[in-house]
Structure 1
Amino acid sequence: MKNLSLTPFFILLCLSFVKAQEVDISGKWTGNSYFLGTQIFTEYELHQEGNSVIGFGTTKNGSDSSKFRLVGEIKGQKIFLKGVEYVYKVGKGCLSKAEFTYSNSGSMATINGRWKGTMELTTCPPGVAGRVDLFHKKELMVAEPVAQSGTSPQMLQSIHKDDFEGTELVNALADRKYYALIIAVEDYNSPDIQDLDNPAHDAVSLSKTLNEHYTFEKENTLLLHNPNRSEIITAFDELASKVKERDNLLIFYAGHGIWDERLQQGFWLPSDATLDSKAQWLSNSTIRDYVGGIDSKHTLLITDACFSGSIFKERAVFNNSKAILEMYKLPSRRAMTSGALKTVPDKSVFIQYLNKNLARNTHPLLSAEQLFQSFKVAVINNSPNGQVPQYGPIGQVGDEGGDFIFLKRGSR
């Protein structure tokens, strides 16, 4: 009789344990939070490891919006989350702590609870609070495309379902603009400066690759063919007023470059440049000023010109690999050049391999450093004069150790 009386209790314990283990909050949660009668669209992207939780939250209310990093833990059916830092904030808002109760009816999972401020300086003030009601948005299962008869298309590699950071970054980048300024100078007004054969072809080829394979829209891509100095400066000024701090900018220059030993300064030569006067030359210091003054998240400068390596504060190749998400968090101002302080050939193997590796990349996310490392050796081995391409930070213009990230079309 004594054993029989213990049996239901034992079964109850087992069922409670199983139920607790069923709490799985990884994924996207969508709903609303409330403050003083105002309904605020709220979305969480969460990743659970055991009882620990990390993720990001997004809120939108009219012109006010924010995105913030979340950390927390699970205790039984209770979920405790805290906003720890902003990714961005536009308008009003404050970080808070929240306590949720998890429920799963089978067809839908929900987390319901309250957010509140605390005595901590980093959160909303004490007494500020409201409800949060979120439901689980099930992920869509996407089938692999079936090749048409007689074709074998190149497939885009997908982000693994457990790669939370990769998925989060793809989603974040898809909502940001990519701008490109592509400059090609091959026909010079001065008879003293030799015309070039390939910059325009190289520029058009790169522009096409960025538009077709990556998220550079045509309306945000400006191609300048044989511009003079004034036209280049005007393009920089327009970018400075257009590009926002959440956007990314790529600048490409193909044309003549020259090094002034006395001034210890490198220059681009626009189409109206002359050799007997520097009035129409474009100095590296001017280029650096614009790169530093354009308020982008990341700016990547790619130059295919003689002495283009002089743009660097230091000429050593940057070689510090980090996770792509970590590289994107920090602002960057970086340059990729066809060589250091030497002449480079008109028919550029640098742009040939750069464009080739951009086009054949199948990864959703590609850092500029990964791109550079993928073709650096090929340029060295196939250059007729042993040119060594360079990659690294541009000095004194706000680089904080991040990197430019290319987002492949069709990644989301």
Structure 2
Amino acid sequence: MLFITTASLGQIVKDKSNAMLLDFSNENQISTSLPVIEWIYPRVEYTNSQENRIMIEASVSSSIPLKTVTVVISKGENGKTIGTKAAELDDKFNLKIDLSIFVIDGENWIEIIAENEEGGIVSDHRSVRVGMDAISDAVMIDRKDYALLVATNKYDNWNDLVNPIYDAESIAEELRTVYGFEVEILKDAEQNEVMTKLREYAQRKYKPQDQLFIFFAGHGIYDEVFGEGFLVAKNSIKNDVSKNTYISHNRIRNNINNIPCEHIFLAMDVCFGGTFDPVLASNRATVYEDIDDQAYLVKKLSKKTRKYLTSGGKEYVSDGIRGSHSPFAKSMLEALKTKGGPDRILILDEIKLYMERLQTTPRFGGFAEDEKGSDFVFVAK
């Protein structure tokens, strides 16, 4: 057993990440450099477990020597303290926490509190629901799914296309009416408009189980000198050697990863889309386990998701015939229209089955902070 009961730790100001408490009567505290807490597992703020014994991993770093680092487990956010554990400070500047702890059924509030020798205090927490009863209630009623679709038909300096906006509108309608997504379409946008819209989504507040689907359709290019792919905006200049008027895959990858939504799925129906990830991912999502639908959703929504699906590798892909969808969009729509089958849960592996029929094989994988076993789920109403 982990727990050693100790005296009260006092009042700590709590927030979603690295909350801090400073005593302004102490002049040294006001200018102190605060410790930094980084969770390794559980990675996301709210998670679930069928087992009462779980592992927690985190690191604490500080430029000022650490005075104390304590793990506190409580019954819920404001509930009774179950137990505490003071860490041994072998290294007062870099501490690794790696513990196996016993938690009770229901909600457990696991908090790490770090104080340096100048009195600066930070805390960070994770909430873990335990037991099948807790899991059955864990899919939040107020969770939301969002979709941003960026489609370009008309170009200032490139040949116009016929299907991107039609494809985006058809996919948007399916997402809105069948899966309950809140949908926005950005049409024929210039480079600055696209980046401004992504910034807008990065400034939004998301709940832990919210999901964001981002879709790009239009021209794409690959620059052999830079060794990178680019999205072509409405105002991209065709002979722009520096590619300053384009949107690089690297920029898209970083900006989307930094959107504070735990579950993001990016689909790109553009030429050379497969060059989005510098190392094309080969890992497959975890197959559907034989568990209750609700428990399955909870499991998937407890892992940080950064997945991408592109309409080909390092090659040109077809825009399709006017009014009949691009091959990529057609396959995406066919998958969405299945509603995920009897369970009404469509997962990425099921979408991939439809994509594998295409002449140019799409690329699928994870990027940036994607967690192993994560998934993006489309839940039909």
Q: Under a length normalisation based on structure 2, what TM-score does the superposition of the two structures give?
A: 0.61
**Correspondence for 2:188:** 226
Q: Which moved more, 1:261-270 or 1:237-246?
A: 237-246
CA distance in 1, matches of 2:370, 2:265: 11
Change (3 A) 1:189 1:368: same
Alignment RMSD, CA only?
A: 3.0
Letter matched to residue 242 of structure 1: R
- Describe the SS at the equivalent of 1:222: strand
Residue identity over aligned pairs, in percent, reads 25
Give the gaps of 5 or more residues in structure 2: 1-44, 57-71, 87-105, 107-131, 290-295, 321-325
Cα offsets for 1:344-402 (capped at 9, x unmatched): 01112111011111112233322223322x202322xxxxxx300111012xx211224
Structure 2 partner of 1:401: 372
Which residue of the other structure, out of 147, 153, 167, is the alignment partner of 1:180?
147
SS in 2 for 1:329: coil
| 1:42-191 correspondence runs (5 A) | 69=48, 95-96=74-75, 117-121=81-85, 168=136, 172=139, 174-190=141-157
Change in Cα spacing, 1:186 to 1:284, as seen in structure 2 (3 Å) is same
Q: Distance in 2 between matches of 1:257 and 1:165?
A: 48
**For 1:339, which of 291, 312, 315 is the aligned residue?**
312
1:299-378 aligned at under 5 Å gives the runs 299-322=264-287, 323=289, 324=296, 325-347=298-320, 348-361=326-339, 362=341, 363-372=343-352, 374-378=353-357
Letter in 2 for 1:262: V
Give TM-score scaled by structure 1 length. Answer: 0.57
Aligned to 1:43: none
- Please identify which structure carries the higher helix content: 1
Q: Which moved more, 1:327-336 or 1:298-307?
A: 327-336
Q: In structure 1, what residue type is equivalent to 2:263? A: H
CA contact (8 A) 1:244 1:296 kept: yes
8 Å contact kept, 2:304–2:370: yes
State how 1:204-283 maps to structure 2 within 5 Å: 204-217=169-182, 221-244=183-206, 246=208, 247-277=210-240, 278-283=243-248
| Inter-partner Cα distance in structure 1 for 2:231 and 2:141 | 33
Deviation digits for residues 104-144 of structure 1, max 9, x if unmatched? xxxxxxxxxxx85444439xxxxxxxxx9xxxxxxxxxxxx
Name structure 1 gaps, 5 residues minimum. Answer: 1-65, 73-81, 87-92, 98-114, 123-131, 133-163, 380-385
Q: Is the 8 A contact 2:345 2:380 kept in 1?
A: no
Instruction: Report SS of the residue matched to 2:356.
Output: helix
Q: Which amino acid aligns with 2:271?
A: C
User: Is contact 1:299–1:404 with CA below 8 Å preserved after alignment?
Assistant: no
- State the AA in 2 paired with 1:259: Y
Higher RCO (C-alpha 8 Å, min separation 6): 2
Whichever of the two has the greater Rg, that structure is 1
CA contact (8 A) 2:303 2:371 kept: yes
CA 1:256–1:173 in structure 2 vs 1: closer, same or farther (change >3 Å)?
A: farther
Are residues 280 and 331 of structure 1, via their aligned partners in 2, closer, same or farther at CA, if it must alter by over 3 Å?
Answer: same
Look up the SS of the partner of 2:357 in the other structure. helix
Check conservation: 1:173, 1:407, Cα contact below 8 A.
Answer: no
After TM superposition, the structure 1 = structure 2 runs for residues 382-401 of structure 1, keeping only pairs within 5 Å, are 386-394=359-367, 397-401=368-372
Q: Say yes or no: does 1:291 pair with 2:271.
A: no
Is contact 2:262-2:304 (8 Å) kept? yes
Going from structure 1 to structure 2, the CA distance change for 1:69 and 1:201 (only over 3 Å counts) comes to closer
> Is the Cα–Cα contact under 8 Å of residues 229 and 280 in structure 1 kept in the other structure?
yes
